[in-house]
Amino acid sequence: MTPSCSPKPAAVLFDMDGTLVDTEHLWWEATSEIAAELGYALGEADVPEVLGRAVEHTAAHLAAVCPVPTGAAVLAERLNAAFTHRVAARVVPRPGALALLAELRAAAVPTALVSASPRQVVDLVLTHLGRDWFAVTLAAEDTERTKPDPAPYLAAAARLGLDPAACVAVEDTPTGVASAHAAGCAVLAVPSSDVAMPSAPGITLLASLTEADLPLLAGLTARPAE
């Protein structure tokens, strides 16, 4: 039998919350709960400071907007505890996520998990999702700067020994898309909410991972630079 010569990306780098597992709404719930305890109701204006953001960023935001000043470090601890409690109880893979991971494994395409969540949360999700899907996993603590900075995706590609431009990043929030795009990855954006995604060359939008497969991902890295 002749081996397949079908094109494929060098690697696929996945965001976690809202992309592979249905946890982005749990982060919003946790943040809403803490904010409400401080007398503040989260609204649309807070979305960019919450969805896709690291705990420390959202904690600093709440410390700035809540009517009862609370230190950001204390808020970060409370947010992390509230989010971890929810994740422990409700880890549900996003539609199409496991099928896509299985297709990539069968084609010997390496994958990485690139998350802005703390390592504690990443490891908790991996106990449910499965650690062996990924050659590399990065959490918020693994780079000096996290999303929307490109550092996490640059680090993931470096750990795999690959050029970021040969990799596809899969994200669900504008914050994550900005990070991956700035790193030079081809980006597949699969929104987990109604937040508008950035539009630029190298960013492809899909409604669901059920629409994604290996040929589509290969086509993203095969496109000429614009």
Q: What is the DSSP letter of 196?
A: P
226 pLDDT higher than 80: no
Please, which pLDDT band fits residue 93 given cuts at 50, 70 and 90? very high
Reported as a single tens digit per residue, the pLDDT across 186-197 is: 999 999 888 888
* pLDDT for 3: 43
The 10s digit of each residue's pLDDT in 199-210 is 889 999 999 999
| Residue 79: partners with Cβ closer than 8 Å, 6 or more residues away | 30, 31, 34, 55, 58, 59, 62
Environment class of 22 (CB within 10 Å of its CB; exposed 0-12, middle 13-18, buried 19+): middle
Residue where the block lists tokens 């009517």? 67
10, pLDDT greater than 90: yes
Query: Would you say 140 and 32 are in contact if contact means Cβ atoms under 8 Å apart?
Result: no
Q: What pLDDT sits at residue 225?
A: 46
Q: What is the pLDDT of residue 23?
A: 85
**pTM tops 0.75, yes or no:** yes
The stretch 83-90 carries a mean pLDDT of 85
What's the residue count for the chain?
Answer: 226
